[in-house]
């Protein structure tokens, strides 16, 4: 599996570094290997000079001991983890500050029970969560340690919708009031009420109180997402069991798989814009979305769902694949089950730090030579790589924009590949899975120092919600 374009014919998109500026994308025919760039030769030459300089210090006993520990001990150890590789590269790659890269990167959120949001506002920092079987809405205001039940009144369905979206859900399923007499409360339980004077939404002033005058509190049910009812793993292999990734979709043109996709709701699937751009002259009626599949050999028994509307991001650039996302509106809704479901979007201000273990899945090529595509859905774990490192001169030389992120290994052990484009990069938060990236592009498949590049879904939340609401 390696970041790619569509799997329709041998056409691919690659990134090469021709100098210190942004990478240059080009489309080429065939499965040719790309020549080594001048920048790569420069990086390799610089490393070689550094090693020769170190060897020149072998006359000193202290330096000799240091070299012995540095070069012999790791060779006898277990394979270097993605995090250690990143730190090692940060120390040797020009233009990357080792001090900056080695600082611990901690999540900015604290996830408790069903906490799904850390919302930083210019007015009042507010966090929300939906708790318990009664789906009671709780709010944490101004970083106070206690969670407050929300009194009913002033919180309408429109605000409930905004809260659900901020938690990573696509829509609000139910908004109702629950009588305080019907639930068990701690004596110390406090409440929050939304001030109606400011007229805002999530940035409103929340007033805390020891009681709830209305005698009713808010219960919110958001659209279901991010759960895996059949999440058993196959030990020692990469073939995916049915239901492991229920949001995985196959976007097909006629009977041919072209790209992956992720189910957001019964009517909506997100994929890569370049998948649609490559076949923009195709008839809309030729597109189908298949969900709940593991093997493409079963497609003949699975008619798929027709696409009603293809909506690429209006700022998508075919030159550098910026804004590489598209939404597919389905003509008929998908039937959710144990094997078909929705993935959660990232919550507002939710941060997955570098080194986070995430998963990418798809039916793309399973070897770097692009000689074999998989009939069975494959997956692999890939750690997130900092954008600062990925944009360094030894990797993509500034080709990544703010709408992109990197994931993979610096030794190239695993990656997405041609045919995986548009598919999901998902990261867990507790038992809930969030769509962090969409497979977009990269240099080769599993090439050292060239991890996969993904469209950063967190940058497209407003566009996704606005598009779905308008439609």
C-alpha to C-alpha distances, 26 to 7, 38, 128, 279, 443, nearest whole angstrom:
16, 17, 45, 17, 11
**pLDDT per 10-residue tile (average), the chain, 471 residues:** 38 31 29 36 44 47 41 33 47 55 30 30 67 88 80 83 91 90 85 66 69 90 89 49 92 92 97 93 92 83 85 96 98 94 91 94 77 80 95 94 95 87 95 96 90 96 94 75
* Cβ neighbours for 240, distance < 8 A, ≥ 6 positions apart: 234, 248, 294, 361, 376, 377, 378, 379
C-alpha to C-alpha distances, 223 to 220, 296, 329, 471, nearest whole angstrom:
10, 29, 17, 17
- N residues, the chain: 471
C-alpha to C-alpha distances, 100 to 21, 80, 90, 325, nearest whole angstrom:
22, 20, 9, 30
Q: What is the pLDDT of residue 238?
A: 63
| Angstrom distance (rounded) from CA 168 to CA 151 | 23
Q: What is the pLDDT of residue 155?
A: 76
Give a three-class secondary structure readout of 36-103.
Answer: CCHHHHHHHHHHHHHHHHHHCCCCCHHHHHHHHHHHHHHHHCCCCCHHHHHHHHHHHCCCCCHHHHHC
322, 324, 379, 420: which is the annotated catalytic residue? Answer: 324
End-to-end Cα distance, the chain? 34
Q: By three-state DSSP, how is residue 376 classified?
A: strand
Q: What is the residue extent of each domain of the chain?
A: 126-222
SS3 breakdown of the chain: % helix, strand, coil, rounded to 5?
20, 30, 50
Question: Known catalytic residue: 324?
Answer: yes
* Closest alpha carbon to 158 in 167, 147, 171: 171
Question: Known catalytic residue: 421?
Answer: yes
Q: What is the pLDDT of residue 400?
A: 96
C-alpha to C-alpha distances, 248 to 75, 263, 264, 427, nearest whole angstrom:
39, 7, 10, 14
250, 262, 421, 429: which is the annotated catalytic residue? Answer: 421
The CATH class of the 126-222 domain is: alpha beta
* Cβ neighbours for 235, distance < 8 A, ≥ 6 positions apart: none
> 380 near 445, Cβ under 8 Å?
no
8, 257, 274, 450: which is the annotated catalytic residue? Answer: 274
Q: Residues 100-119, buried b or exposed e (16+ Cβ, 10 A)?
A: ebeeebeeebebeebbbbbb
User: What backbone phi and psi angles, to 5 degrees, belong to 217?
Assistant: -125, 165
Question: Known catalytic residue: 274?
Answer: yes
Q: What is the pLDDT of residue 182?
A: 87
């Amino acid at each position: 599996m390696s970041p790619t374009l569509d799997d329709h014919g041998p056409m691919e998109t690659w990134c090469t570094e021709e100098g210190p500026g942004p990478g240059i994308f080009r489309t080429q025919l065939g499965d040719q290997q790309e020549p080594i760039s001048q920048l790569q030769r420069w990086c390799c030459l610089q490393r070689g000079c550094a090693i020769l300089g170190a060897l020149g210090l072998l006359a000193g006993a202290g330096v000799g001991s240091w070299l012995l520990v540095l070069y012999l001990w790791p060779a006898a150890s277990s394979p270097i983890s993605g995090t250690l590789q990143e730190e090692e590269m940060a120390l040797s790659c020009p233009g990357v500050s080792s001090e900056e890269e080695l600082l611990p990167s901690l999540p900015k959120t604290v996830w408790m029970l069903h906490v799904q949001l850390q919302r930083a506002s210019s007015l009042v920092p507010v966090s929300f969560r939906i708790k318990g079987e009664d789906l009671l809405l709780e709010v944490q205001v101004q970083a106070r340690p206690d969670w407050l039940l929300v009194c009913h009144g002033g919180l309408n369905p429109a605000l409930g919708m905004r809260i659900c979206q901020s938690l990573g859900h696509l829509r609000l399923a139910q908004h109702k009031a629950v009588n305080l007499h019907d639930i068990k409360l701690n004596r110390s339980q406090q409440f929050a009420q939304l001030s109606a004077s400011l007229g805002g939404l999530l940035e409103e002033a929340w007033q805390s109180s020891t009681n709830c005058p209305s005698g009713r509190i808010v219960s919110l049910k958001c659209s279901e997402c991010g759960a895996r009812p059949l999440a058993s793993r196959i030990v020692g292999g990469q073939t995916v069991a049915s239901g492991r990734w229920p949001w995985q979709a196959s976007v097909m043109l006629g009977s041919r798989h072209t790209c992956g996709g992720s189910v957001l709701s019964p009517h909506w699937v997100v994929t890569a814009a370049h998948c649609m751009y490559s076949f923009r002259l195709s008839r809309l009626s030729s597109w189908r979305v298949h969900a709940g599949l593991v093997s493409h050999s079963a497609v003949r028994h699975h008619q798929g769902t027709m696409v009603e509307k293809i909506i690429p991001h209006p700022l998508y650039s075919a030159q550098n694949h910026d804004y590489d996302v598209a939404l597919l509106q389905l003509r008929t809704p998908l039937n959710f089950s144990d094997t078909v479901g929705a993935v959660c979007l990232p919550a507002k201000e939710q941060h997955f730090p570098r080194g986070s273990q995430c998963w990418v899945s798809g039916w793309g090529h399973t070897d770097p030579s692009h000689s074999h595509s998989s009939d069975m859905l494959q997956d692999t774990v890939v750690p997130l790589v900092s954008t600062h490192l990925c944009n360094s001169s030894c990797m993509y030389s500034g080709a990544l924009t703010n709408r992109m992120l990197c994931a993979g290994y610096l030794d190239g052990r695993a990656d997405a590949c041609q045919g995986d484009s548009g598919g999901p990069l998902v990261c867990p938060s507790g038992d809930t899975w969030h769509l962090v990236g969409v497979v977009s592009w990269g240099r080769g498949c599993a090439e050292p120092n060239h991890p996969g590049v993904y469209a950063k879904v967190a940058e497209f939340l407003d566009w996704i919600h606005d598009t779905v609401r308008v439609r």
